[in-house]
Chains A and B, each alone.
Chain A
Amino acid sequence: MVAISVDPAADSHRLAERMHYTFPLLSDADAATIRRYDLLHPHAGPKHEDISRPAEFYVDQNGIVRWVNLTENIAVRARPEQALAAIDAARHGAQ
C-alpha cells in the first residue's frame, strides 16, 4: 500500500514518524501523477494550492485497476474493512 499526495517528502517523513506509518508516503509535489489519474482538486489546499482529491485504487499484479473508490464527499473515505472486502472480491473474481 502507498499513499500519494502533493506534500513534500520532508513533511511526509515527519508525519510517518509521528504516526508510526510503515508504508511509503509518496510525494507528488508538482501533482503530475495526480493529474494523470485525473484527481486534481484545484485550489483546494490550505493556501489555495492544487491538491489531490481523496481516492483509492486496488491494482492487481499486472497493473490492472480492480477497485476504484472516488468519494463524493471529502469527509467520507473508504474504511479499511471496505477496501479489504473489495480486494477479496476482486481476487476471488480473478481466480
Chain B
Amino acid sequence: MRRRWNVSLWLGFVVVLGGLFSYVYFAQFPMTRDFPWLNLLLIGVGLVLLATGLFRAFGNPRLYRGKISGSILAVISVCLVAFFCYEIFFVLRDVPASAGAPRMGENAPAFTLPDQNGKQIALADLLSPHGAILMFYRGHW
C-alpha cells in the first residue's frame, strides 16, 4: 500500500515560519507589537499541526510518511521558536534601570544639540507656554 503524504507536518512547518516572519509586519502596529499575541497564536497552531503530523508518522507509519522529514522539521521549528521567545521575552526586556533619570517634579537637565538641519537647539528654546515633549529613541537603522 502506498503511504499517504503527511500534510499536517508540512502545513505546520509553514505556519510556524509564517508566525515567526510575520513579526516584521505585525510589529508596525502597537496592538500586535506591545505583545506579539498574533505571532504566538500562529506559532502555536503550527506546532500543534506539526505534533499531529509527528504522531501520525510514528503512530501509524504504514499509513503515513514523515518519520525522518517530520523529525527534522520539528527540530528546526523548536529551535527557531526558542530563539524567537528568547528575543521577545528576554532581549526586548533587557533595558537598563535608568535609576538616575529625571523624575516628576525635577528639573530637566539642560542641553544644546544640533537638529537634522545642523541648527543648534537648546532645551530652553523648546519650552513654550505649552511645554515640550522630549522623546528619546534608539535611532533609525
Chains A and B form a bound pair: yes
Which chain A residues have a beta carbon within 8 Å of chain B's beta carbons?
1-7, 9, 11-13, 15-16, 24-28, 32-34, 36-42, 44-46, 51-68, 70-77, 79, 83, 87, 90-91
Contact of A58 with B115 at beta-carbon distance under 8 Å, contacts A5-B140, A45-B139, A75-B33 already known? no
CB closest chain-B residue, reference A15: B140
- Are B133 and A56 interface neighbours, CB within 8 A? yes
Q: Please determine whether A74 and B92 come into contact, CB atoms closer than 8 angstroms.
A: yes
- Once the chains are docked, how many angstroms separate the CA of A55 from the CA of B134? 8
B99 contacts partner chain A, Cβ-Cβ < 8 Å: yes
**CB-based contact B114/A63 at 8 Å:** no
Count of A-B contacts with CB under 8 A? 185
Bound state CA distance, A36 and B98, in angstroms?
11
B123 touches A59 (CB 8 A): yes
Mostly, the A contact residues are mixed
B80 at the interface (CB under 8 A from A): no
Name the CB-closest residue of B to A55.
Answer: B136
Across the A-B interface, give the 5 residue pairs with the lowest CB-CB distance, nearest first. Answer: A38-B100, A24-B115, A12-B116, A26-B113, A13-B116
Interchain CB contact under 8 A, A59 and B114: no
Contact A63 B124 (CB under 8 A): yes
Residues from chain A with Cβ under 8 Å of B108 in the complex: 57, 59, 63-65
Distance of A78 from chain B, by nearest CB (Å): 8
Given contacts A39-B136, A52-B138, A74-B95, contact A27 B111 (CB under 8 A): no
Cα-based distance from A66 to B138 in the complex (angstroms):
22
Q: Which of A32, A54, A91 is B138 in contact with, Cβ under 8 Å?
A: A54
Q: Which residues in B have their C-beta under 8 angstroms from that of A67?
A: 104
**Residue on B with the closest CB to A57?**
B134
Known A-B contacts A12-B116, A53-B138; the reply to A63 vs B105 at CB < 8 A is no
A80 to chain B, nearest CB (A): 10
Contact with A along B93-117 (1 / 0, CB 8 A): 1011011111111111111011111
